[in-house]
Structure 1
């Protein structure tokens, strides 16, 4: 068996090395002939039908079939990569599976830094049909201050703008909160994908007096010297005095870690704030140390912030859950694939690494699916050491996804738990968060993330395509954005004050 395993891994390494995801003599955003693109779409449909565990979970087969047919028939001429990516993404988004997503080719992703486009000049926060300015790329912009309400861009109202951007993004089920948050993270980019680049933009807005106004703004041209948002925030995070001195690598590392996870304890108000921005990376030592500190401090309340946590390792989510849950729980009632032999391996380089564990650890059951029974039978129990029994407030939002959704959903309804914020982006009933290889389409080289396992968290929950619903709904608002207030944290503080008054 061991010799066979070594042979399989060696073959997989050779195959993967020979499977090219790049195009020779690539020209940025180059066009591909219509017949080749049509073949890519036909192939993608076959790959999804043969492997995807939840292709028709929320959308009927005839609707998915119609979407593929419409896309194929609409490709009557050559398309550049952006245009083709949009067509494929529009199909994929109809599956309503957030782990099935579309990425540009490796060529495009590598070349994009050398091909900067002009872009829409405002950073914008969106939710529902609301759009509010976070900032302008022009430092001397006196019109679009933080908190300004946008009502239309180039004649498209906010509903029309979102209706054109949402189909380009995948999410679980029927909630659009995740899509709104993704768009908010880089509004100019999503606007460019949906509508292209304009030289000027006619923007309708509400001024400080509550009057409806219209102004025309020009493009912003980024330069190669402009630092990214991540770099800028990093520098601010580690610079404590007005100094031109660059942060050391250690300082940068500490700031990056702080952005991902942090613990603050306020003994005066007997409250701890645990921020968990991801379930990726090596987190168990941090969780152990944090829970020890929380226990020794004797605080009675904890706020756990997973608003920007898009997921990561399920084992990290499960590990943290143990410190707060009051009963035994499982990762999921069902963990199943429709096959234990990945089809169309030629276009899925990682498939040769995943084939063996799927064969070894999956067993076909009466429903015709291949179940990971080890996962389905595994029961996790509450931690004994450093378990927290006080008041628990979970902050979640549209970006709370995948493993973060498992964390909040398993605690939802517990007597000492209150979920504050918005509906989660991840599905309450289940998702497809296990085994996520990448499909590389042969002609366009577009990359599609392909889930292989369906995870039903709790079969007793209603499969309605919703995320985890908060106990107390707190939406953004323009005044809070203008004033830089965190309305969700403020809501919890008000609850604590009321509880102890």
Structure 2
């Protein structure tokens, strides 16, 4: 049986060969692993999920999950390289419909993945519903595929056909697809290559031209030219100081701008982890109080969640009533039967044994989040109008935050459906499974959180005001959601 260590050795050897033959246009074929150890990893994955995953059958019945595992195993009849195998595992795991159960390449493959990035689809593309719109072209002087160009087919596949195919490999909470379309938009060339392969040196693309007519043309795959000559002298760029780097890192996680003329504050929050958030919240709401700011816009479109305590703290500054984190926060087990394949385990074992309790239903409950009522903060509590902008990347703790506030009289939720579930999700503790033969990694949420048992199940938060992307907004380069919110604020200010 091949082990991860032997696989690492093969991949490192491949990388070494590539360094020696850098003048060739394509790297050597990826190493393959025999079918038997790959099947063993699938069998082990099923055992681990059955032992610890709190929501394995939440959206997909057990007999269906069993069938999908059998189908995957039956499909492994020969040796496979890692990208092909990862696709099989990703498609299988996506059937669980849990956005916190995701698949990653092995660490060994991550070290050489860049060698296999090309050839690649040459256009950056925004995807939503059944639409594909060009964001940019990697080919210089591309006179056809300008920003905002609508694509109607790629190699005879319609946008709906392409996206339906790609969606099968991406995990999300429940049945929503908005998170999947956002993920694909983030790296359309990468997903196209990963799912559909890179055998095409030329792509046949149908598109809508400037006269609103459908046209067809071809475009070459992108293959960077390998420079085998002398190394060019590196351009020296000014180095940032540690203080400047820290400042930029914080700004990337949270920032606030104030438009005094419109009495509006804009907060961009991309995470609930790190960023000295509690201090940022305290200073921000103190400023809003001092300046008597009437409107607050919070952009959570990039916020994938994070620390629940930070989400709770922000909620306290805005909510008008006591609240609990959820109706149920429970794990099916606090034992790690297959702990040697799960890391870390010790920290979670302590948390689940000393911070949670086994109840009559046989599950391990985190009672504080189920029972404790958090109160609105009195100091610098914000009572003005609040506009929460959300999207497909809005997940986990960010979804928890928005769901607590939606329906409050002074709050409007705008944008698109969240990726995180409105009814609940599986998260809290998320260690990582490493399959021993392939090295493929799978995240493993330990707790099921039901935020409100009376909410509809199966989708993310549906906004009060839906604002979809548009090809015109993409073409003109403006943020359609933020523009619409500003119009709403202007109309509200005019009516005061």
Normalising by structure 2, we get a TM-score of: 0.90
Q: Deviations over 1:226-247 (max 9, x none)?
A: xxxxxxxxxxxxxxxxx99536
Listed as ranges, the matches of 1:302-341 within 5 Å are 302-341=296-335
Q: Cα RMSD over matched residues?
A: 1.8
Does the aligned pair in 1 maintain the 2:262–2:490 contact within 8 Å?
no
Please say if 1:294 is aligned against 2:294.
no
Corresponding residue number in structure 2 for 1:151: 152
What's the CA shift for 1:151?
1.0
Residue in 2 that maps onto 1:94:
95
CA distance in 2, matches of 1:491, 1:342: 49
1:297 CA displacement: 1.2
Q: Which residue of 2 aligns with 1:461?
A: 455
Residue of structure 2 aligned with 1:350, choices 334, 344, 350: 344
Q: Is the 8 A contact 2:57 2:96 kept in 1?
A: yes
SS in 2 for 1:376: helix
What CA deviation, in whole Å up to 9, does each residue of 1:1-59 have, x standing for no partner?
Answer: xxxxxxxxxxxxxxxxxx97884413264211111111111111111011100001111
User: Which segments of structure 1 move beyond 4 Å, counting only runs of 4 or more?
Assistant: 19-22, 222-225
| Alignment correspondent of 2:10 | 26
State the alpha-carbon separation in 2 of the partners of residues 273 and 110 from structure 1: 39
Summarize the Cα distance change of 1:59–1:261 in structure 2 as closer, same or farther, 3 Å threshold: same
Cα distance in 1, alignment partners of residues 65 and 311 from structure 2: 33
Selected match of 1:397 from 385, 391, 395: 391
Alignment of 1:240-251 (within 5 A): 246=238, 248-249=240-241, 250-251=243-244
For residue 323 of structure 1, give the secondary structure of its aligned residue in structure 2.
helix
Q: What is the distance in 2 between the residues matched to 1:353 and 1:450?
A: 14
Within 1, Cα distance between the matches of 2:225 and 2:441?
28
Distance 1:360 1:127 in 2: 45
1:60-92 CA deviation, whole Å, 9 max, x = no partner?
Answer: 111111111110001100111101100011011
Structure-1 residue corresponding to 2:222: 220
Partners of 2:86 and 2:142 in 1: CA distance: 34
Whole-angstrom distance in 2 between the partners of 1:413 and 1:435: 29
* 2:161 is the alignment partner of 1:160: yes
1:84/1:459 Cα in 2 relative to 1: closer, same or farther (>3 Å)? same
Equivalent residues, number = 465
Contact kept in structure 2, 1:277 and 1:306, CA below 8 Å: yes
Confirm or deny: 8 A CA contact 2:4 2:436 kept in the other structure: no
Unpaired runs of at least 5, structure 1 = 1-18, 226-242
Work out the CA distance in 2 between the residues paired with 1:332 and 1:222: 51
Provide the rounded CA distance (Å) in 2 between the counterparts of 1:22 and 1:94: 31
Q: What is residue 367 of structure 2 aligned with on the other side?
A: 373
CA contact (8 A) 1:116 1:222 kept: no
Cα 1:245–1:297 change in 2 (3 A) is farther
Structure 2 gap ranges (5+): 15-29, 228-234
Distance 2:117 2:195 in 1: 17
User: Matched residues in 1 for 2:482 and 2:265: separation?
Assistant: 12
Sort the Cα spacing of 1:22 and 1:185 in 2 relative to 1 into closer, same or farther, 3 A.
farther
Q: Does 1:175 align with 2:176?
A: yes
Q: Deviations over 1:241-267 (max 9, x none)?
A: xx9953623444433322221101111
Q: Distance between the aligned counterparts of 2:102 and 2:109, measured in 1?
A: 16
Structure 1 CA distance, aligned partners of 2:187 and 2:121? 10
1:107-147 superposed Cα distances (whole Å, 9 cap, x missing partner): 01122234442211000000011010001111211110000
Structure 2 CA distance for aligned equivalents of residues 203 and 474 of structure 1 = 28
The within-5 A match list for 1:60-79 is 60-79=61-80
- From 466, 469, 473, the equivalent of 1:473 is 466
Q: Distance in 2 between matches of 1:429 and 1:22?
A: 44
After superposing the two structures, state which structure 1 stretch, 371-380 or 159-168, moved more.
371-380
Aligned equivalents of 1:33, 1:92: Cα separation in 2: 21
The alpha carbon displacement at 1:375 in A equals 2.3
Deviation of residue 362 (structure 1)? 2.3
Residue 407 of structure 2 is aligned with which of 395, 399, 413? 413
Who is 2:20 aligned against? none
Provide Cα deviations, 1:448-477, integer angstroms capped at 9, x if missing partner. 0011111111122222x1101100000001
